[in-house]
A and B are shown apart, each in its own frame.
Chain A
């Protein structure tokens, strides 16, 4: 292994290859930081340009793009409350409040350092234990997927905010919206009302960017915007002490592990990893009430999980040739076009390239933290551009990104529709994050339920008797019971305190 590592190292350590990695990271950061443009799009656009390059150079730039694209999302998430990519939704929850409290520098510091650490951890996991991990992931069939997604859906309850009912309603709306289009498996159209444009349903990106970014922009138009005084953010180092860092150690580690685990399971992906890590951090925290008001723990959880999902998603790709999401599917295409067939023999036949990829990932990760660290001052200066100029331009880029998803104007329309929906939800005080969770997980639940029933020829029992599935369904049940009990307790407390005050009067 060490030989291969060295071989990989020498193949990457050329001036040109490193330049390509840096180029990839920068371009990735740009795409990631613009809401509407994502790592997927950056890779899709760049892929054809790599055909003329050598294997290693091509892979170098793609890995740079992947790391940069996922990391760039934290910039607008913290500064503008607009998630740059699906992976940084949860970063907005606490990153933006921190910035509003004048702690943008600190939020950046945490986000950048833990992005780096989460990414690094996942790369090491990828290097050291990819094959056995991938084999475990293979054991997950429809029963297991069904159970695990049901469990993940129960996370909605913790994202609900003040009203559990509204949170669950929002989640159901997400599931319902995902049903528009062709049904899984038999492809019968649902809720298309005869309009063929809806056959493919809604794409995740317009839904997400619409609900989060466009809705925020519409909201901003409620009031005339004045030129704001540019706030000088204090920035010293990463903005936090070593003690602070160690306080976040366990949170960061746990979130990274969640990120890797979700990344490995094909289909669930980075868009949910950050939310689930955030919810877990909140549930495990001693001060859950501080979440959403600008607590570093939230930023740490989200950012370490989304970068850790990168290494996770590469595990089944490198070890077995099975892509888990759109980005890795593109990377698979890239590998094949460069004459490499990912699969069980990749390590054996092209060990040097595989290790080259690992090293390129590590370099890209280092480049990412360096660029972001030195760029921090520059990013906060974006805020000195008046918002009435910044927001319309961001909106145009959202539209471009939406069209780019599937090369259809339809998605631009969908983007608007969801922007309006998101705005109404803000106004009527419905939480938005559960919609996304429902939208991503709902179809997985349904597909795997129906697949499982095809396997068992109509028998429901295996969902409960398969051990992994049973464990997750049990966890889901527990999580619901706890939440309901919690809710009751809270209500009683509130009522009691009300009674007391009433008696006092």
Chain B
């Protein structure tokens, strides 16, 4: 009995103690501040002066923080992907500039696992005070379509889209027999299942392959090789014929002469990569854009989302940021919450159609 009682008593004692400590520290700070005003008041010697000082302070508060007091603490970007990948890189680059705009640190928190669903769920369940945001991409839509989760972008408050990556490409090794996309398609239709092509099952690239197979009525050997880095290794090691990836991730290998691009899946040729032909030009009707969006938990107040979105717009139009992002061949593009919602809805419909 004693053994049980004692800790209980102690526990209570501690709770009291902490309560007292907390209380004290509050009191201290409040008494300090009142002490300060008293001092100034004494120095000013007049009540009027004190009053006017207060009103001035109030006004300053009002004007500087446009109704919402946000952000008041560091903002966490939950990135549902590992550190070092392109999602992480885009989040960090954007975060660096947003930090300046918002006046609070932006902390990148990598929450990996289960195709990004763990990180996304983390944000849905987070406190809706605008200090936890999700930075994610197309897989948000795919995870819902594939039935991995039962939530999607509609269950969040979108803050907008920040970055578009139009460099979704098929890479082959430099000594590949496929000179262009048509070469590959011809070979594939003559030899069904012979061309091996890498993907992550259920990922963005998987969808691209399904689209291609549908559009050209060919059969490819779709092989899961893992994430972006694994894909590069598989292609360099000669284990696979084609790797769909983002051009920005492989520029180094193109320059070194290890890989070639068969084209990008963009609507029109992209300014950042003028020499690369599009799939459309080569007779394949398939276009994909990777988008990176930011979202908050559903109950987040509109004013906060607005404040954030405004800051986001400023950053995306910041030339310095654009220049830095362009180095990885992605295009910062701002869409406001409504535009982003419409864009994602449209994209979702397209994806659903493809994966059926």
A and B touch in the complex (CB under 8 A): yes
Residues of A bordering B, CB below 8 Å: 44, 47-48, 51, 138-142, 181-182, 185-187, 189, 196, 199-201, 266, 316, 320-323, 326, 328-333, 336-337, 339, 341-346, 406-408, 447, 450-451, 454-455, 457
Sample of 13 more A-B contacts, CB < 8 Å, known A44-B83, A182-B115, A451-B226: A141-B234, A182-B114, A199-B118, A200-B113, A201-B113, A322-B229, A323-B84, A329-B229, A333-B83, A333-B84, A336-B89, A346-B252, A407-B76
On whether the beta carbons of B234 and A337 are closer than 8 Å, the reply is: no
On whether the beta carbons of A138 and B223 are closer than 8 Å, the reply is: no
Would you give the shortest CB distance from A189 to chain B, in whole angstroms? Answer: 8
Would you give the shortest CB distance from B91 to chain A, in whole angstroms? Answer: 10
5 smallest beta-carbon distances between A and B, as pairs: A200-B113, A343-B252, A138-B237, A329-B84, A333-B84
B92 within 8 A of A: yes
> 20 A–B contact pairs at CB < 8 A?
A48-B107, A48-B108, A187-B148, A187-B202, A320-B232, A326-B82, A329-B85, A333-B84, A333-B89, A336-B84, A342-B252, A344-B252, A345-B252, A346-B252, A406-B110, A406-B111, A406-B113, A408-B118, A451-B225, A451-B226
Docked Cα-Cα span, A346 to B255, in Å, equals: 11
Would you give the shortest CB distance from A332 to chain B, in whole angstroms? Answer: 4
Docked Cα-Cα span, A201 to B82, in Å, equals: 15
Return chain B residues, CB-CB under 8 Å to A200: 112-114, 118
Return chain B residues, CB-CB under 8 Å to A321: 229, 232, 252
When C-beta atoms are compared, the residue in chain B nearest to A334 turns out to be: B84
On whether the beta carbons of B256 and A181 are closer than 8 Å, the reply is: no
Return chain A residues, CB-CB under 8 Å to B280: none
Docked Cα-Cα span, A334 to B327, in Å, equals: 15
Docked Cα-Cα span, A323 to B118, in Å, equals: 23
Docked Cα-Cα span, A321 to B231, in Å, equals: 12
On whether the beta carbons of B223 and A451 are closer than 8 Å, the reply is: yes
Of the residues B76, B114, B236, contact of A138 by C-beta under 8 Å = B236
On whether the beta carbons of A333 and B88 are closer than 8 Å, the reply is: yes
On whether the beta carbons of B201 and A187 are closer than 8 Å, the reply is: yes
On whether the beta carbons of B234 and A341 are closer than 8 Å, the reply is: no
Docked Cα-Cα span, A141 to B113, in Å, equals: 23
When C-beta atoms are compared, the residue in chain A nearest to B150 turns out to be: A196
When C-beta atoms are compared, the residue in chain B nearest to A336 turns out to be: B89
Return chain A residues, CB-CB under 8 Å to B240: 455
B258 within 8 A of A: yes
Return chain B residues, CB-CB under 8 Å to A408: 111, 118, 122
Docked Cα-Cα span, A454 to B108, in Å, equals: 35
When C-beta atoms are compared, the residue in chain B nearest to A346 turns out to be: B252
Return chain B residues, CB-CB under 8 Å to A316: 233
When C-beta atoms are compared, the residue in chain B nearest to A452 turns out to be: B223
Docked Cα-Cα span, A227 to B118, in Å, equals: 45
Asked, given contacts A320-B236, A341-B251, A454-B224, whether A407 binds B122 with beta carbons under 8 Å apart, the answer is: yes
Return chain B residues, CB-CB under 8 Å to A140: 237
Docked Cα-Cα span, A140 to B240, in Å, equals: 12
Return chain A residues, CB-CB under 8 Å to B327: 339
Asked, given contacts A141-B239, A345-B252, whether A454 binds B223 with beta carbons under 8 Å apart, the answer is: yes
Of the residues B193, B226, B237, contact of A457 by C-beta under 8 Å = B193
Return chain B residues, CB-CB under 8 Å to A266: 229-230, 233
B221 within 8 A of A: yes
Return chain B residues, CB-CB under 8 Å to A406: 110-113, 118
B246 within 8 A of A: no
- Near A by CB (< 8 A), chain B positions 229-278 give 229-230, 232-234, 236-240, 251-253, 255-256, 258
B326 within 8 A of A: no
Return chain A residues, CB-CB under 8 Å to B82: 326, 329
Would you give the shortest CB distance from A462 to chain B, in whole angstroms? Answer: 11
Docked Cα-Cα span, A51 to B199, in Å, equals: 32
Point out which of A189, A199, A447 has the most chain B C-beta atoms below 10 A from its C-beta: A199
When C-beta atoms are compared, the residue in chain A nearest to B252 turns out to be: A343
Docked Cα-Cα span, A346 to B327, in Å, equals: 16
B331 within 8 A of A: no
On whether the beta carbons of A185 and B113 are closer than 8 Å, the reply is: no
Point out which of B113, B115, B201, B256 has the most chain A C-beta atoms below 10 A from its C-beta: B113
Docked Cα-Cα span, A450 to B122, in Å, equals: 30
B30 within 8 A of A: no
When C-beta atoms are compared, the residue in chain B nearest to A203 turns out to be: B113
When C-beta atoms are compared, the residue in chain A nearest to B239 turns out to be: A141
- Near A by CB (< 8 A), chain B positions 10-67 give none
Docked Cα-Cα span, A341 to B252, in Å, equals: 7
Return chain A residues, CB-CB under 8 Å to B146: 187
Instruction: Write out, one digit per residue, whether chain B residues 112-131 have a CB within 8 A of any chain A CB (1) or not (0).
Output: 11110110011000000000
- Near A by CB (< 8 A), chain B positions 59-112 give 76, 78, 82-85, 88-89, 92-93, 96, 107-112
Instruction: Write out, one digit per residue, whether chain B residues 180-213 have a CB within 8 A of any chain A CB (1) or not (0).
Output: 0000000000000100100001100000000000
On whether the beta carbons of A344 and B148 are closer than 8 Å, the reply is: no
On whether the beta carbons of B113 and A344 are closer than 8 Å, the reply is: no
Asked, given contacts A48-B108, A141-B239, whether A333 binds B252 with beta carbons under 8 Å apart, the answer is: no
Docked Cα-Cα span, A139 to B202, in Å, equals: 26
Docked Cα-Cα span, A462 to B148, in Å, equals: 33
Return chain B residues, CB-CB under 8 Å to A330: 83-84
Would you give the shortest CB distance from A167 to chain B, in whole angstroms? Answer: 30
Return chain A residues, CB-CB under 8 Å to B92: 48, 333, 337
Would you give the shortest CB distance from B133 to chain A, in whole angstroms? Answer: 13
On whether the beta carbons of A457 and B202 are closer than 8 Å, the reply is: no
When C-beta atoms are compared, the residue in chain A nearest to B233 turns out to be: A322
Would you give the shortest CB distance from A469 to chain B, in whole angstroms? Answer: 13
Return chain B residues, CB-CB under 8 Å to A141: 234, 237, 239
Docked Cα-Cα span, A10 to B200, in Å, equals: 44
On whether the beta carbons of B224 and A187 are closer than 8 Å, the reply is: no
Point out which of B76, B122, B149, B239 has the most chain A C-beta atoms below 10 A from its C-beta: B239
On whether the beta carbons of B239 and A455 are closer than 8 Å, the reply is: yes
Docked Cα-Cα span, A329 to B112, in Å, equals: 13
Return chain A residues, CB-CB under 8 Å to B149: 196
Return chain B residues, CB-CB under 8 Å to A196: 117, 121, 149
Would you give the shortest CB distance from B150 to chain A, in whole angstroms? Answer: 10
Instruction: Write out, one digit per residue, whether chain B residues 149-168 have a CB within 8 A of any chain A CB (1) or not (0).
Output: 10000000000000000000
Return chain A residues, CB-CB under 8 Å to B328: 336
On whether the beta carbons of B84 and A332 are closer than 8 Å, the reply is: yes
On whether the beta carbons of A344 and B258 are closer than 8 Å, the reply is: yes
Docked Cα-Cα span, A48 to B99, in Å, equals: 12
Would you give the shortest CB distance from A144 to chain B, in whole angstroms? Answer: 10
Would you give the shortest CB distance from A141 to chain B, in whole angstroms? Answer: 4
On whether the beta carbons of A199 and B232 are closer than 8 Å, the reply is: no
Docked Cα-Cα span, A336 to B229, in Å, equals: 14
On whether the beta carbons of A344 and B253 are closer than 8 Å, the reply is: yes
Return chain B residues, CB-CB under 8 Å to A407: 76, 78, 109-111, 122
Docked Cα-Cα span, A266 to B224, in Å, equals: 16
Would you give the shortest CB distance from A450 to chain B, in whole angstroms? Answer: 8
On whether the beta carbons of A199 and B117 are closer than 8 Å, the reply is: yes
When C-beta atoms are compared, the residue in chain B nearest to A321 turns out to be: B252
On whether the beta carbons of A455 and B223 are closer than 8 Å, the reply is: yes
On whether the beta carbons of A326 and B83 are closer than 8 Å, the reply is: yes
On whether the beta carbons of B201 and A185 are closer than 8 Å, the reply is: yes
On whether the beta carbons of B237 and A187 are closer than 8 Å, the reply is: no
On whether the beta carbons of B113 and A181 are closer than 8 Å, the reply is: yes
